[in-house]
Amino acid sequence: MAARLLPLLVLAVSLAWPASCKPLPVLVPVTKDPATLLYTIPFHYGADLVVDTAGPLVWSTCQRGHLPAEFPCNSPTCRLANAFHIPGCRARGCCHDTRKDRTCTAYPYNPVTGACAPGDLVHTRFVANTTDGVHPVSQVNVRALAACAPSRLLKSLPRGASGVAGLAGSGLALPAQVASAQSVPNKFLLCLPRGGSSGNTGVAIFGGGPFQVSAQPGRDFTQELVYTPLVAAKKGMPPAHYVSLQSIAVESTRVPGAGAAVVCTKVPFTLLRPDVYRPFVDAFARALKAQGAQGGPVARPVKPVPPFELCYDTQSLANTRIGYLVPGVTLTLGGGTNWTMNGLSSMVDLRPGTACLAFARMEGVKAGDRSAPAVLVGGFQMENTVLEFDVARKRLGFVRLPFFTQCGHFNFTKTTGY
C-alpha cells in the first residue's frame, strides 16, 4: 500500500514546489545624502553605492591585491563592459587592443564629475533582502560583476560612498545582473525619499512589485502605474532611460518643448534645455501672477538663489496638502501619458522664508540642439513617486504617492513565516 502511495506523494510535492519557491524580488533601502542631494543604496557590508539611473556598470574602489575576473578582451562580457563610450572619457577599452588574450579592462566613470579610470572586472556579492512587496523576507547574496576604480574617482560623491550602482538598461547594470542571478524580471522599482528629519529612507526593488506602504495597507501601487514607452538612445548618447516628450504645459498654457526626456538621479533638480527653459519660466511667472490677479495670494518675488531664477517669499504663498498653491506643470509623454507635478514637486524650500521654482537651465547645451534631451527629470521631481523601469518590456511606469504618505513609509521590518 505504501509503495502505491509513494508516486502520488512525489507528484504532489513536485506540483507544489515551484509555487512555494517562486523567486522573489530583491529589496534595498535608498538614502538621500543632504550634502550632495544624491541617493545611495547599501551594496554589501560597509559599502554604499550611489544610484545612477544612467550608469551602465556597477563599480567601487577595490582593496589592493584583489583578483581580477578572468574575462578575455574578446569575451561577450568584456564587450558589454565596453559597449558605451562615455563623453569626455578618452580611455579606450581593451577590446580595441590587438592582443586578444589580455584580461578585460573596464572604464567606470563618475556621473557627477565625468571623470573615468581603467579598472579590472571582479566578482562580488550584492547583499540585500528578498521581499513580498510589503516587508523584507530573507537575506540574499546576489552574484554580480563590478569594476574596480581608484579612490580619486569618488570625488564629489557622498561621503562614505565607495562607488556607483549603474541602473541603466545595459547588460552589466545592476538590474540586469539581479534579473539573471535571481531569475526575476528585468525591471526595478524606485521610490526616492525626500530626506529630512522623517521619512528619509526610500525603496529600490529589483524584479518588480508589488509595492505597499504601511499608511495604505493592502493597496498595491504597482496596480496604479501609468506607462509610457522607453525609447532607444540616439547613437553616441549614454545608456539612460529615455522617453518621448510631446509637450510641456504650465496650467493650461502649452510651452515649446518636445524631444527626449531622461529620468536622471545624478541631477538633483530638473534641467531644461535652453530653448525650453526660457518660455517655461516665463509662462510659470505669468501664471502665478494671474493667480493673484484672480483673487488668490499675491506671490512676492525675492532674490534668486542659484541655480534657480524664480524665488518667492513663502509667507506670500498659500500652503496646501499638496504643497504651495502654484501653477501645475505637466509633461505629456509618449502615448499621451501625463506626468503632472504640483507644488510638492515643483517648489523647493532653500532657506527660511524662501521657496524657488525647482527647475534650472541645462548648461553646456545650445538652444535647439536636438542631440540633447529637452528635459532631464531630476531626483527632486522623482521623490515620493513610485517609478517602474521595465527594461524587458521597454516601458516606464509612474504614480505619485498620496500626500499623506511617502516612500519612507515602507515597512522594513522583516516578516516571518517564509
* CA 55 centroid distance within chain: 10
| Whole-number Å distance between alpha carbons of 28 and 141 | 12
The predicted pLDDT at position 63 comes to 73
Residue 43 contacts residue 165 (beta carbons within 8 Å): yes
Per DSSP, the three-state class of 137 is strand
Apex CA 363: angle with CA 362 and CA 366, to 5°? 90
Indicate the residue type of 165: A
Residue 41 contacts residue 55 (beta carbons within 8 Å): no
| Whole-number Å distance between alpha carbons of 206 and 225 | 16
Spell out the SS3 assignment of 365-394: CCCCCCCCCCEEECHHHHCCEEEEEECCCC
The predicted pLDDT at position 93 comes to 55
30 phi, psi to nearest 5 deg: -120, 130
Residue 196 contacts residue 84 (beta carbons within 8 Å): no
The predicted pLDDT at position 9 comes to 29
Residue 86 contacts residue 239 (beta carbons within 8 Å): no
| Whole-number Å distance between alpha carbons of 185 and 342 | 32
In which element (H, E) is residue 361 found? strand 359-361
Average pLDDT per run of 10 along the chain, which is 418 residues long? 38 38 92 96 90 96 76 90 79 52 85 92 93 95 94 96 96 96 97 75 95 93 97 82 96 91 97 96 96 87 97 96 96 96 96 96 89 95 98 97 93 73
The predicted pLDDT at position 196 comes to 63
| Whole-number Å distance between alpha carbons of 54 and 201 | 21
> DSSP per residue over 265-333, as a string?
TTSSSEEE-HHHHHHHHHHHHHHHHHHHHTTS----B----TT-S-EEEGGGS-EETTEE----EEEEE
Residue 74 contacts residue 189 (beta carbons within 8 Å): no
Dihedral of alpha carbons 387, 85, 361, 352, sign: positive
Residue 344 contacts residue 355 (beta carbons within 8 Å): no
The predicted pLDDT at position 14 comes to 34
User: Comparing C-alpha atoms, which of 301, 24, 41, 297 is closest to residue 160?
Assistant: 41
Other CB atoms within a 10 A radius of the CB of residue 307 amount to: 13
